[in-house]
Structure 1
Amino acid sequence: MQFYRRLQPIRAISFDLDDTLYDNVPVMRAAEAANYAKLCELFPVAATWSQAEWAQRRWQLMQTDADLASDMTLLRLATIRLGLLQLGIDSKQAEAGAEQVLAAFLARRNQVDVPAQSHQLLSELGQHYPLIAISNGNVDTTKIGLRDYFSHVIQPGGGRRGKPYPDMFKVAQQAYPHLHPAQWLHVGDSPVADVLGAQRMGWQTAWFKSGLYDASSLIVLPHVAYHDNRQLGHLLLERQR
């Protein structure tokens, strides 16, 4: 565990989900395969483009539409719909088909194996701190067995943008208006979405450095960096004694 900034008293903790509390890489690989299989089943012409080419189209759309880039559900729907239109499918069929493909994706996307260590961490911390989930992803915390740990689960949608935009952090603050921003600790693996996003709000941050990113991606230093949930749990529980 590395400390970069002095930690102030913590009164509430928010957690990123994907690749912070569980390994989301194999989940997404399986979900993407299910997405492509359903797409080609419904629209054989979709096989004109490989799975990788559909993913590239989604990435390109992210670069041109900032709002879609922060809402994974809308981004996926838009990618499928626009792609089908380009392949000659009429708009009504493309719209309905995108919804069906998304349903197949989400069914597989919510088959997550959350490690026992994460359950233990949230259970123990929840006895001392209010916990909130703040995630850019579209995982269903009820289906993966995490919902009961959190007082609120905040995700993009309804005009609410994802991290690093301030929208979701503001929703969390509104839920606990008596807390000063510096009394929040946000935990996540993304140097931009989690560390930069939370610190722009005046929050403290804990960076999970065993996720998808290395230190070269850090734009600002977190307050603390850790590589194992046991380290984080020990640190935060010790502060309650």
Structure 2
Amino acid sequence: MQFYRRPQPIAALSFDLDDTLYDNVPVMRRAEAEGYRALCELFPEAGRWTQEQWAQRRWQLMQSDPSLASDMTLLRLVTLQRGLMELGVEEHVARAGAEQGFQAFINARNQVMVPAQTHAMLTALGQRYPLIAISNGNVDTKAIGLRDYFEHVIQPGEGRRGKPYPDMFKAAQAHYPNLSPARWLHIGDSPLADVLGAHRVGWQAAWFRGGIYDEHELVVLPTFAYADNQHLADYLLA
């Protein structure tokens, strides 16, 4: 573990999910392929664009509309609907087709294998701290066997923006009004969504080095960085 800031007493923990508690890269590869396959089966004209081209359109939409950038479910639905309409599908049909295509994606997206080490860590930490999940993603924590560890699971939707916006952090704080922001530790792999997001609301941040980001992508320094869940658990339980 590497410390960048002087840690303060911790009273509550929030966890990012994807690529923090499990490897989400292979999951997303399978889900993307399954979603594309199902979309082309429903709408053969969707095959005029490759899976990579659909992903590029989603990326462009995310860059042009910040309100979609942190809500992965809405981003995918809008990408599918607009894409189908551009390919000549009527709006009401495209809207229903987007829902169907997304459902195929999300079914595969929830096929997550959570490591035994993660279960053990959450079990131990949950006996000492209230645990919250704060995720920009759309994984179903019940479907992947993690829901029971968390007192609350907070994700974007219904006007609530994702990290690094403060909305979800503030929603977590609302459940524990007697805890000051500095008593929270948010744990995640994203330098922007997790570390910067927590920093903006006055929370401490633990950056997981084992995710998909490099150190040079840090915008602000976390309280500390770690590369192994056992090290994290040992420190927080000491």
Into which bin does the TM-score normalised by the smaller protein fall? over 0.9
Describe the superposition over 1:177-219 as per-residue Cα deviations: whole angstroms up to 9, x where unpaired. 0000000000000000000000110000000011000100001
SS in structure 2 of the partner of residue 232 of structure 1: helix
SS in structure 2 of the partner of residue 153 of structure 1: strand
Q: How does 1:33-112 map to 2 (within 5 A)?
A: 33-112=33-112
RMSD: 0.4
Where does residue 165 of structure 2 map in the other structure? 165
Structure 1 segments of 4 or more deviating over 4 A? none
Using the alignment, how far apart are the partners of 2:162 and 2:200 within structure 1? 14
**How far is the alpha carbon of 1:136 from its aligned partner?**
0.1
| Contiguous gaps of at least 5 residues in structure 1 | none
Query: What percentage of aligned pairs have identical amino acids?
Result: 69
Describe the superposition over 1:46-101 as per-residue Cα deviations: whole angstroms up to 9, x where unpaired. 00000000000000000111111110000000000000000000001100000001
Where does residue 214 of structure 2 map in the other structure? 214
Q: Residue type matched to 2:113 in 1?
A: D
Describe the superposition over 1:95-134 as per-residue Cα deviations: whole angstroms up to 9, x where unpaired. 0000001110110000000000100110000000000000
Q: Residue type matched to 2:120 in 1?
A: Q
Using the alignment, how far apart are the partners of 1:158 and 1:95 within structure 2? 18
1:138 partnered with 2:134: no
Q: Residue type matched to 1:50 in 2?
A: T
Tell me the TM-score normalised to structure 1 length: 0.98
Where does residue 231 of structure 1 map in the other structure? 231
**How far is the alpha carbon of 1:175 from its aligned partner?**
0.4
Using the alignment, how far apart are the partners of 2:74 and 2:200 within structure 1? 25
Where does residue 198 of structure 1 map in the other structure? 198
Using the alignment, how far apart are the partners of 2:147 and 2:180 within structure 1? 25
1:182 partnered with 2:170: no
Using the alignment, how far apart are the partners of 1:157 and 1:122 within structure 2? 26
Q: Residue type matched to 1:21 in 2?
A: L
**How far is the alpha carbon of 1:153 from its aligned partner?**
0.0
Q: Residue type matched to 1:123 in 2?
A: T
SS in structure 1 of the partner of residue 207 of structure 2: strand
Q: Residue type matched to 1:14 in 2?
A: S
Using the alignment, how far apart are the partners of 1:59 and 1:50 within structure 2? 14
SS in structure 2 of the partner of residue 185 of structure 1: strand
**How far is the alpha carbon of 1:10 from its aligned partner?**
0.3
Using the alignment, how far apart are the partners of 2:83 and 2:106 within structure 1? 19
SS in structure 2 of the partner of residue 234 of structure 1: helix
Where does residue 24 of structure 1 map in the other structure? 24
1:153 partnered with 2:156: no
Using the alignment, how far apart are the partners of 2:110 and 2:216 within structure 1? 31
| Contiguous gaps of at least 5 residues in structure 2 | none
Using the alignment, how far apart are the partners of 1:167 and 1:91 within structure 2? 31
Q: Residue type matched to 2:232 in 1?
A: L
**How far is the alpha carbon of 1:8 from its aligned partner?**
0.6
SS in structure 1 of the partner of residue 139 of structure 2: coil
Tell me the TM-score normalised to structure 2 length: 1.00
